[in-house]
Amino acid sequence: MIRIVSLGRTCKNYLRLHGKGQPNLYIHCPHCHRIMNKHGCYKRTVATKHQAIQVPIYRWYCTECRKTLTVLPDFLIPWARFATTVRESAIVRRLQGLSLSQIIQGVASFAVGISAATVKRWWKRHLCQVNRVSLYMAGKLVERGTTQDLFHLYPRGVNPALADTAHWLRSLVQVYASYFSHGMYPLRGYWCWLNTQLPHTDLL
C-alpha cells in the first residue's frame, strides 16, 4: 500500500526535515483504521531538475492486519525516477508546442540526463490518463457545486483527440485548484498536490 503526503516544499526541504528520522505521522490503517507503527525505511533515488538525490522512504505497519504502508513524499510516485515537478514541466511544455529538444533542455540540466525517449514515454502515458483524470476532476467540481460551464473550456467540439483532452485537463486543473487548494499552490506546479488526492491508479 502507498500513500502520497506533502512532507516538505521541495525534495531538499524533505531531506532537511525528514532525512534523519521518520516523521511523526498518525497514519490510520486503510483496512482496520488503527494507528499504524513506524516500520523503518529504504533509500530511493530521485532525479530533480539539477541532480539525482537519495532520499529515505518511510514505512508504517499495522500489527493487526500485518500490512505495510509506504509513505511517498508528494514529489514522487511509485514508478517514476524523475521528480513529479520535472515530469509536469515536460508535459506543460509539450502542451505549449515546444519541440522535444527544447523540452529536454528546459526541464532538466545536462547532468541529470533526460532523453527524448523518456519525454515521449511520459507524453504517451499522460494521454492514456487524461480521460480518467479530467472526468474525476470535473466530477469533483460538479459535486462542489461549480457554476462554471466546464465543457466550455474544452478546446475542440468536433473530432477531438486525446491531446485536446490534455489541454482541457490543464484548464480543469486550474479551476480545481482555485476551488480546493486554498491558495497553497501552484508554486511547484499542480501535480505534486493533485497526487495527494487522486486515486492511486490515476497518479500524474
Q: Which residues of 42-51 are buried (b: 16+ CB within 10 A; e: fewer)?
A: eeeebbbbee
Rounded Cα–Cα distance for residues 181 and 174 (Å): 10
* Minimum separation from the CB atom of position 39 to Zn ion (A): 12
**62 interacts with Zn ion by CB under 5 A:** yes
Q: Total number of residues binding Zn ion (CB under 5 A)?
A: 6
Torsion angle in degrees (nearest 10) through CA of 192, 118, 105, 177: -20
Contact 185, 197 (CB under 8 A): no
Residue of closest CB approach to Zn ion: 29
Of residues 114-143, those binding Zn ion (CB under 5 A): none
**1 interacts with Zn ion by CB under 5 A:** no
* Minimum separation from the CB atom of position 1 to Zn ion (A): 10
Q: Specify the amino acid at residue 54.
A: Q
Kindly tell me which of 43 and 66 has the beta carbon lying closer to Zn ion. Answer: 66
Kindly tell me which of 51 and 64 has the beta carbon lying closer to Zn ion. Answer: 64
Determine which residue in the list 16, 31, 50, 121 makes contact with Zn ion, applying CB under 5 A: 31
Q: Which of 67, 5, 57 is nearest to 32 (CA)?
A: 67
The site for Zn ion (CB under 5 A) is made up of 29, 31-32, 62, 64-65
